[in-house]
Amino acid sequence: MTKRWGDKRYYSLDYYVKKHCGEKLYKIALNGGMSCPNRDGLLGDRGCIFCSAGGSGDFASSPALSVHEQIVEGKKLVARKYTGGSYIAYFQAYTNTYAPVTYLRPLFMAAIKEPDIKILSIATRPDCLGEEVLSLLSELNKIKPVWVELGLQTIHEGTANFIRRGYPLAVFDRAVDALHKADIDIIVHTILSLPHETREDMQKTITYLNTKPIQGIKLQLLHVLKGTDLEIHYRNGDFTLPTMDEYFSILSGCLTHLREDIVVHRLTGDAPKHLLVAPLWTADKRQVLNKMNHYLKEHDIWQGKEWFPS
Ligand code: SF4
């Protein structure tokens, strides 16, 4: 294996950011005060089966604060571990394009105009990217780079129905095409070890994504959080979660099939400890990442090892 990604066996976000921005950037999680069609009654009112009450944005600040105030708070929170001065404004909680552009424009502009913010990253659903929103994102992308993170989780419709994702794969495909046309970077959020998915199912999701013009991926291990419907299934014994070694093996299968130029934004998960029901071994993220990097080395695994473009 060549040393193409520094000391990592995959194309890490850190490596990408240092290469393209010349320095490490730290993410500040923001809450734009929006809801989500899976929660407000448009498509459903109980959310995706795994989603916490905080809309998967449990590290974000309070939406009662202005964007500027949230950024100031976020900087204070990371001050002990980050001494640099450049950040990614990450609208993480709920669905961050689920509002009219008259609401979205001042919100995103407030983040993008902060001198220390180098990238605007927006987590959303592919069914919440209408023409006006796309045009706004395209406009912002000319000021500073905009990343759009799409919550796909899986390409398999059976699993998508079970987790109550609320849109078919064709909607994701259309959103990817539209974002690509607008020259906006796309990051796809996937979840590994969803109930009843096999290793082959997960690898199929990866090989499908290899055919798409995406720039980044999050490989997130399924977490069971307190108060979710997934917790009920878990406590009923309807599915099991992998041990750490089993997860490393699953992850290796996905990484080896992943296209080499796709940046890996996440390899485990990041749940607040007070909400985490399982798997509890994920709680010490630093330790998990260290062990995982060791595992990849020991088993001579690297991203794209089994990816053979036609
Ligand atoms: S995961 Fe996203 S789309 Fe699903 S309920 Fe939570 S905020 Fe809504």
Q: What is the pLDDT of residues 227-285, one digit of tens each?
A: 999 999 999 999 999 999 999 999 999 999 999 999 999 998 878 889 999 999 999 99
Is ligand 1 within 6 A of the CB of residue 223? no
Q: Minimum mean pLDDT among 39-53, 57-71, 215-229, 250-264: which range?
A: 57-71
Question: How remote is the CA of residue 140 from the centroid of ligand 1, in Å?
Answer: 24
CA distance 19 to 68: 28
Is the predicted pLDDT of residue 54 greater than 90, yes or no? Answer: no
**Joined tokens for residue 100:** 């009219």
- pLDDT tier, 222 (very low <50, low <70, confident <90, very high otherwise): very high
Top-confidence residue, 308 or 137: 137
Tokens 């089994």 belong to: 306
Is ligand 1 within 6 A of the CB of residue 263? no
**Joined tokens for residue 7:** 């000391």
Is ligand 1 within 6 A of the CB of residue 256? no
- pLDDT tier, 4 (very low <50, low <70, confident <90, very high otherwise): confident
Question: How remote is the CA of residue 189 from the centroid of ligand 1, in Å?
Answer: 12
Q: What is the pLDDT of residues 175-188, one digit of tens each?
A: 999 999 999 999 99
* Atom in ligand 1 nearest the alpha carbon of residue 36: 8
Question: How remote is the CA of residue 219 from the centroid of ligand 1, in Å?
Answer: 17
Q: Which of 63, 64, 80 is nearest to 26 (CA)?
A: 80
Q: 261 with 11: CB under 8 angstroms?
A: yes
Is ligand 1 within 6 A of the CB of residue 94? yes
| Contacts for 25 with CB less than 8 Å, ≥ 6 apart | 17, 84, 86, 87, 88, 118, 119
Question: How remote is the CA of residue 231 from the centroid of ligand 1, in Å?
Answer: 16
Q: Region 192-203: what's the mean pLDDT?
A: 97
Residue nearest to atom 2 of ligand 1 (CA): 94
Is the predicted pLDDT of residue 134 greater than 60, yes or no? Answer: yes
Q: What structural domains and CATH numbers belong to the chain?
A: 13-307 (3.20.20.70)
CA distance 73 to 85: 14
DSSP codes joined into one string, 69-90:
HHHHHHHHHHTTT-----EEEE
Question: How remote is the CA of residue 165 from the centroid of ligand 1, in Å?
Answer: 8
Residue type at position 122: I
pLDDT score of 162: 97
Question: How remote is the CA of residue 6 from the centroid of ligand 1, in Å?
Answer: 35
Is the predicted pLDDT of residue 150 greater than 60, yes or no? Answer: yes
Is the predicted pLDDT of residue 310 greater than 70, yes or no? Answer: no
CA distance 235 to 21: 45
CA distance 248 to 70: 35
pLDDT score of 3: 66
Q: 135 with 175: CB under 8 angstroms?
A: no
Q: Region 138-161: what's the mean pLDDT?
A: 98
Q: Minimum mean pLDDT among 42-51, 79-88, 212-221, 241-250: which range?
A: 79-88
